[in-house]
A and B are shown apart, each in its own frame.
Chain A
Amino acid sequence: MKDGSKKFLKNGLGQLTIPLIAVALLVIFNLIRDPSFFSISITHNNVGNAVLSGNLISIINGASELAILAIGMTLVTAATKGQDISVGAAAAIAGSVFVKVLKSGSEISVGMVLLAFLCACLVAMIFGAFNGTLVAVFNIQPMIATLILYTCGRSIAYWINGGATPTVNSPILNAIGSFAPGIPVPTPVIIVIAVTILFKLLFHFTSLEILTQSVGINQSAARLNGINTTFIKLLSFILLGVCVSVAGCIGVSRLGLINHETLLLDVEMDAILAVAIGGNSLGGGKFKISGSIIGAYVIQMLTITLYAMKVSSTDVKAYKAIVIVLLVVIGSPVVKERFRKIFKKGKSGTKGVEAA
């Protein structure tokens, strides 16, 4: 404990400083603007369950898909020094497979939903492996390699179901995408927690975290130390595939419909942003998944804030861009270094006074 506090004094919050400052700023801004912004109340939804509601719930609920994708994106970024820009398109494919399997049976049961999810997961992992092979085996830059799926993914999603917006209706899907009976917390939030715990366990019981970091920091050194770098890179894409399928299935379950053109539209950029805001280097190497998840919530909080302020339709993206530019610049190594110097000067100054 003493060690921990010493470390804290020395490094501050480390990598998490920037995302946490961003959260704090947004919270303070909203509290000044409208003190009741974060109030949470209990209402009864139309199915008759008592559920929590409020802006805070909207934020953590709405960011679920993004948070899950950001986890996978962090791994890919760390291992390959590049990003996967096809996650939105891949999620549309996974969602389409999910719907296709659900519609093939006569009735939607829990087993059926599980089967559909497993199929979607498998397909997303295959597409992940495809991206991974291009990157790991053929050494193509990740953004170029994933550009292929980015371009054609949504057409593939269309072929799977044929129609423009197939719908699936079932209380089970509603329980996954909205609220499960008897639980006042939105189910997608619970899924995010479950996925995070799964990844933490994976890192705890395997050496995946260290292997990924060493591949990202110095590939040749890692290879000389006997690490199968190709496999680690490929694995990161396959794990992202799992995240993609979870996100896609949540997206479909929320509304009981898949629109292959708009499901998780432009989410790839937000996912990459979440990784960046989370203090992770987009150039690979060391990473913190918690940072990316907070990053995802920052982006969502920003969106909901703009909606609450009724910023006009055409201006939303511009405002979002301004805030994000600020965050990224503050988080950049150049600015960080300058801050640290100023901080150090101040500290040594006070030390001098104490000594005297």
Chain B
Amino acid sequence: MRRFSKVLSLALVVIMMFALTACGGDGSIKVGVVNNPPSESGYREANVKDMEAVFSKENGYELKTAYSLKNDEQLQAAQGFITEGVDYLLISAAETTGWDEVLKKAKDAGIKVYLFDRMIDVDESLYEAAVVSDMAKEGETAVNWLLSQNLDEYNVIHIQGAMGSDAQIGRTGALDAQFASGKMNKVVQQTATWDEAEAKKIVESVINSGEDFNVIYAENDGMAKGAVAALDEAGITHGVDGEVIVMGFDCNKWALRELKAGAWNYDGQCSPFQAKIISDLIKSGNAPSSKKIINEEKGFDAKTLTDADIDTYGLGE
């Protein structure tokens, strides 16, 4: 593995040398993006595509990218961008620590730094602004939607993601508050660690126990699909006009299509689209009003979802 990373960093150096010679002075804004690789998740795939689309040549940018899941490789890449002399450095860090020195160097070189998606543990003065998602708000948006359905009773099966992950904590918090206040009843709360098949087993076990439930709150689309498979096998109707309300997260295109078909009710999204906000800030030339900019979170209702929404906001294919 170490040899592999050596080869990788060597390859990176070679690529950068090429990039260096290819640098032209055509007046475009040079942007270096340090991100996690698109293979990480559907979220990241959409995130990377969005960055490439917004910071395009047509929009007056010269984009350089480096993708890695490892902090040290990301640090090397950022260092490389600084040496190359980019105008802006955009970072979604693999880890929150270890960035002090690199960001100081960037500041000394007059490079403006924007953080996106993930915060870094450094002094605020070292970056212009951080465009991040408020995971807790995402859960709140979903729970508020659920409350607005005005059901007589809320008996919720809550299928959680991998315990301790940002997405799980954010999506669980708001629902836990409802359980605590007694407004909603917790039929079961279990983690399926993002595993679709496990989600199906959890719902199956509730059905077998004969307990009543009318809401499935799954913390991602895959687990919602697993839950629905269990409902289908047991002959329980779901979705719009069904016995059970189905809620998912992530807004994959296929999941939104399920919504459109009325098989699910709600899909929430932790927005992967930060590029536009950053681009607007860069073009405006003004300093951002706040160091922390919260990205707007979307939530879609099956009744109001349009085909255009699926094209614009859906992840994947």
Are the CB atoms of B222 and A46 closer together than 8 Å?
no
Known: A44-B235, A308-B208. A58 touches B201 (CB 8 A): yes
Point out the residues of chain B lying under 8 angstroms from A303, CB to CB.
Answer: 201
Are the CB atoms of A259 and B196 closer together than 8 Å?
yes
Residues 145-174 of chain A: 1 if any B CB is under 8 Å from the residue's CB, otherwise 0? 000000100010010000111110000000
In the assembled complex, B128 has its CB within 8 A of some CB on chain A: no
Are the CB atoms of A45 and B205 closer together than 8 Å?
no
In the assembled complex, B200 has its CB within 8 A of some CB on chain A: yes
Point out the residues of chain A lying under 8 angstroms from B42, CB to CB.
Answer: 163-165
Interchain CB contact (< 8 A) of A313 among B163, B221, B229, B316: B163
Which residues of A from 240 to 257 have beta carbons under 8 Å from B?
A: 251, 254-257
Residues 8-46 of chain A: 1 if any B CB is under 8 Å from the residue's CB, otherwise 0? 000000000000000000000000001000000001111
How many of A's residues come within 8 Å of B, CB to CB?
Answer: 42
Are the CB atoms of B189 and A312 closer together than 8 Å?
yes
CB distance from A57 to the nearest CB of B (A): 8
Are the CB atoms of A254 and B200 closer together than 8 Å?
yes
Are the CB atoms of B316 and A164 closer together than 8 Å?
yes
Are the CB atoms of B205 and A47 closer together than 8 Å?
no
Are the CB atoms of A308 and B197 closer together than 8 Å?
no
Interchain CB contact (< 8 A) of B232 among A46, A54, A167, A259: A46
Are the CB atoms of A265 and B193 closer together than 8 Å?
yes
Give the one of A34, A51, A58, A313 with max B CB within 10 A: A313
In the assembled complex, B97 has its CB within 8 A of some CB on chain A: no
Point out the residues of chain B lying under 8 angstroms from A316, CB to CB.
Answer: 190-191
CB distance from B251 to the nearest CB of A (A): 12
Whole-angstrom distance between the alpha carbons of A43 and B202 in the complex?
19
Whole-angstrom distance between the alpha carbons of A44 and B193 in the complex?
30
Which residues of B from 27 to 47 have beta carbons under 8 Å from A?
A: 39, 41-43, 45
CB distance from A169 to the nearest CB of B (A): 9
Point out the residues of chain B lying under 8 angstroms from A343, CB to CB.
Answer: none
Are the CB atoms of A46 and B189 closer together than 8 Å?
no
Are the CB atoms of B232 and A178 closer together than 8 Å?
yes
Bin the interface of chain B by size.
Answer: 35 or more
Residues 100-127 of chain B: 1 if any A CB is under 8 Å from the residue's CB, otherwise 0? 0000000000000000000000000000
Are the CB atoms of B45 and A304 closer together than 8 Å?
no
Whole-angstrom distance between the alpha carbons of A259 and B200 in the complex?
14
In the assembled complex, A284 has its CB within 8 A of some CB on chain B: no
In the assembled complex, B207 has its CB within 8 A of some CB on chain A: yes
In the assembled complex, A262 has its CB within 8 A of some CB on chain B: yes
Give the one of B39, B189, B193 with max A CB within 10 A: B39
Are the CB atoms of B190 and A307 closer together than 8 Å?
yes
Point out the residues of chain A lying under 8 angstroms from B204, CB to CB.
Answer: 58, 62
Are the CB atoms of A178 and B222 closer together than 8 Å?
no
Point out the residues of chain A lying under 8 angstroms from B234, CB to CB.
Answer: 43, 45, 53
Are the CB atoms of B208 and A178 closer together than 8 Å?
no
CB distance from B29 to the nearest CB of A (A): 30
Are the CB atoms of B235 and A46 closer together than 8 Å?
yes
Which residues of B from 209 to 251 have beta carbons under 8 Å from A?
A: 209, 221-222, 225-226, 229, 231-237
Are the CB atoms of B233 and A307 closer together than 8 Å?
no
Interchain CB contact (< 8 A) of A262 among B1, B196, B200, B237: B196
Interchain CB contact (< 8 A) of B201 among A54, A178, A259, A304: A304
Are the CB atoms of A307 and B202 closer together than 8 Å?
yes
Point out the residues of chain B lying under 8 angstroms from A314, CB to CB.
Answer: 163, 191
Point out the residues of chain A lying under 8 angstroms from B202, CB to CB.
Answer: 307
Q: Which residue of A lies closest to B206 (CB)?
A: A307
In the assembled complex, B300 has its CB within 8 A of some CB on chain A: no
In the assembled complex, B271 has its CB within 8 A of some CB on chain A: no
CB distance from B18 to the nearest CB of A (A): 24
Whole-angstrom distance between the alpha carbons of A54 and B210 in the complex?
10
Point out the residues of chain A lying under 8 angstroms from B188, CB to CB.
Answer: 307, 310
Residues 45-85 of chain A: 1 if any B CB is under 8 Å from the residue's CB, otherwise 0? 11100010111001000100000000000000000000000
Point out the residues of chain A lying under 8 angstroms from B207, CB to CB.
Answer: 53
Q: Which residue of A lies closest to B205 (CB)?
A: A307
Whole-angstrom distance between the alpha carbons of A163 and B317 in the complex?
7
Are the CB atoms of B196 and A257 closer together than 8 Å?
yes
Which residues of A from 317 to 346 have beta carbons under 8 Å from B?
A: none
Whole-angstrom distance between the alpha carbons of A201 and B41 in the complex?
43
Are the CB atoms of A165 and B222 closer together than 8 Å?
yes
CB distance from B50 to the nearest CB of A (A): 15
Are the CB atoms of B254 and A167 closer together than 8 Å?
yes
Point out the residues of chain B lying under 8 angstroms from A261, CB to CB.
Answer: 41, 194
CB distance from B163 to the nearest CB of A (A): 6
Point out the residues of chain B lying under 8 angstroms from A167, CB to CB.
Answer: 254
In the assembled complex, A127 has its CB within 8 A of some CB on chain B: no
In the assembled complex, B269 has its CB within 8 A of some CB on chain A: no
The contact sample of 11 A-B pairs, CB cut-off 8 A, is A46-B231, A53-B208, A62-B201, A164-B45, A179-B233, A255-B222, A255-B225, A255-B229, A257-B254, A307-B190, A312-B190
Chain A to chain B: the 9 pairs with minimum beta-carbon distance, closest first: A164-B42, A313-B191, A307-B205, A46-B232, A262-B195, A167-B254, A55-B208, A44-B235, A58-B204
Given contacts A34-B209, A255-B222, 17 further A-B contacts (CB under 8 A): A43-B234, A53-B234, A151-B1, A155-B39, A163-B316, A164-B252, A165-B221, A167-B254, A178-B232, A251-B197, A255-B226, A257-B254, A264-B197, A308-B208, A310-B190, A313-B189, A314-B163
